[in-house]
């Protein structure tokens, strides 16, 4: 009888296509909106990932990597003296303005790295060498968004705070949430590039000694210095949490996803209802001929499960295709497997809820209806 159920479903082309395309659309929108949300959240913590330090030390009032309170220079020495610390280096990180050759200004994310170790330098260089940073006036730029700096090549220059910056390398650095170009230089030079403030040190990057757990070092730093310290993961989640709490992104995406669910329910529910009405005679005939209610329920559930799975596969496939086509460009798009599972659950929930309408009608159907014309 399950085969009959499938033939009843697939044979009614218009309703079948409406159901599948409706659910595919729901699934696509869910994946697309969810992936944009995940992509945006992932971008908020890109600056943390690109630095890649084991432990981050900051002011206790730190809210996110983009909203730091600078430390005293002496804090670096205090951290270095904490038990379990293998090394500690300064990190300058601030948004500054670059004056381009055409006279326009552009905000960039300026990283000032420890000149001796260059801890936090870009992992993958597309052109040039990161060791060239120690040459006078030298900076490395990230490839992403470099067109906003006029797509400079190695040897090209621009001005930061009336000082010349000469490009000595181009790195493969992913876009972050603010989508400003990345500029790397040494810590000392970054202090010259940025407008002077009373305190300049944004973060201290720390590595734990061999055999000492980072969590233990973090605890030691907090106890000894009173400063805040985080693992890389802790720093990522702190930043994500800040954007979740302080921007309208979760509400906007949440509204979109709720609308997707409601529209999906409306399409699937209405089509299933029309399907149930149209097939009432045949379900009545099957009931009269001795098909049990349990078998009829199984038939309807199979129909809804089938359209759900096909719709989900098409929608998810299309959603992932959008992500794949837009790889590397400005669209923030990240599809974790958890999102696929949530989308799967949502699509099937819509199908199951919609099929309840059919099930209710069929269960209430008197087989004697077949003799009414």
Footprint of other proteins (CB under 8 A): 1, 3-4, 7-8, 10-12, 281-282, 284-293, 295, 366-368, 370-373
Shortest spacing between CB 296 and other proteins, in angstroms: 10
Comparing CB distances to other proteins, the nearer of 337 and 371 is 371
Quote the CA–CA distance of 304 and 20 in Å, as a whole number: 10
Q: Which residues of 262-295 are buried (b: 16+ CB within 10 A; e: fewer)?
A: eebbebbbebbebbbeebbeebbebbeeebeeeb
Catalogue the long-range contacts made by 43-47 (C-beta closer than 8 Å, 24 or more residues apart): 43/174, 43/175, 43/176, 43/177, 43/332, 44/176, 44/177, 44/239, 44/240, 44/242, 44/243, 45/235, 45/236, 45/237, 45/239, 45/240, 46/174, 46/175, 46/176, 46/177, 47/93, 47/109, 47/176
Comparing CB distances to other proteins, the nearer of 19 and 370 is 370
Shortest spacing between CB 315 and other proteins, in angstroms: 25
Comparing CB distances to other proteins, the nearer of 6 and 352 is 6
Comparing CB distances to other proteins, the nearer of 4 and 259 is 4
Shortest spacing between CB 347 and other proteins, in angstroms: 24
Phi and psi angles of residue 326, each rounded to the nearest 5 degrees, phi first: -95, 15
Look at the alpha carbons of 77, 79, 81, 84 in this order and tell me if their dihedral is positive or negative. negative
Comparing CB distances to other proteins, the nearer of 230 and 283 is 283
Shortest spacing between CB 19 and other proteins, in angstroms: 15
Shortest spacing between CB 308 and other proteins, in angstroms: 20
Quote the CA–CA distance of 6 and 143 in Å, as a whole number: 53
Comparing CB distances to other proteins, the nearer of 296 and 339 is 296
Shortest spacing between CB 7 and other proteins, in angstroms: 5
Of the candidates 132, 197, 204, the residue with the CA atom closest to the CA atom of residue 165: 132
Quote the CA–CA distance of 240 and 246 in Å, as a whole number: 10
Comparing CB distances to other proteins, the nearer of 3 and 124 is 3
Shortest spacing between CB 254 and other proteins, in angstroms: 41
Shortest spacing between CB 372 and other proteins, in angstroms: 8
Helix (H, G, I), strand (E, B) or coil at 113: strand
Quote the CA–CA distance of 221 and 207 in Å, as a whole number: 12
Which two tokens mark 348? Answer: 């099937």
Radius of gyration of the chain (CA): 29
Comparing CB distances to other proteins, the nearer of 143 and 287 is 287
Comparing CB distances to other proteins, the nearer of 88 and 365 is 365
Shortest spacing between CB 255 and other proteins, in angstroms: 40
């Amino acid at each position: 009888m399950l085969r009959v159920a499938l033939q009843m479903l697939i044979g009614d082309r218009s309703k079948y296509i409406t159901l599948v395309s409706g659910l595919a659309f729901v699934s696509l929108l869910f994946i697309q909106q969810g992936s944009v949300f995940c992509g945006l959240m992932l971008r908020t913590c890109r600056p943390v990932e690109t630095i890649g330090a084991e432990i981050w030390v900051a002011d206790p009032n730190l809210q996110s990597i983009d909203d730091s309170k600078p430390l005293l220079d002496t804090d670096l020495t205090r951290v270095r003296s904490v038990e379990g610390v293998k090394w500690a280096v300064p990190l300058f990180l601030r948004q500054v303005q670059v004056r381009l050759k055409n006279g326009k200004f552009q905000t960039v994310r300026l990283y000032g790295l420890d000149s001796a170790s260059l801890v936090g330098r870009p992992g993958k260089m597309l052109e040039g060498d990161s060791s060239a940073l120690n040459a006078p006036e030298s900076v490395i730029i990230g490839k992403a968004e470099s067109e906003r700096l006029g797509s400079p090549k190695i040897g090209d220059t621009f001005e930061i705070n009336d000082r010349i910056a000469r490009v000595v390398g181009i790195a493969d650095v992913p876009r972050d949430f603010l989508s400003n170009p990345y500029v790397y230089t040494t810590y000392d030079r970054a202090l010259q590039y940025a407008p002077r403030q009373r305190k300049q040190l944004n973060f201290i990057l720390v590595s734990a000694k061999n055999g000492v757990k980072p969590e233990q070092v973090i605890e030691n730093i907090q106890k000894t210095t009173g400063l805040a310290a985080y693992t890389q993961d802790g720093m990522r989640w702190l930043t994500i949490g800040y954007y979740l709490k302080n921007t309208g992104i979760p509400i906007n995406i949440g509204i979109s996803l709720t609308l997707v669910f409601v529209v999906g329910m409306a399409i699937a529910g209405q089509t299933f209802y029309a399907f149930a009405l149209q097939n009432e005679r045949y379900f009545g005939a099957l009931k009269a001929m001795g098909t049990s209610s349990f078998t009829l329920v199984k038939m309807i559930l199979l129909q809804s499960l089938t359209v759900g799975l096909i719709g989900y596969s098409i929608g998810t496939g299309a959603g992932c295709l959008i992500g794949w086509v837009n790889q590397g460009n400005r669209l923030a798009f990240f599809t974790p497997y958890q999102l696929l599972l949530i989308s799967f659950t949502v699509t099937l929930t819509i199908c199951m809820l919609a099929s309840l309408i059919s099930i209710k009608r069929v269960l209430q159907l008197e087989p004697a209806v077949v003799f009414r014309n």
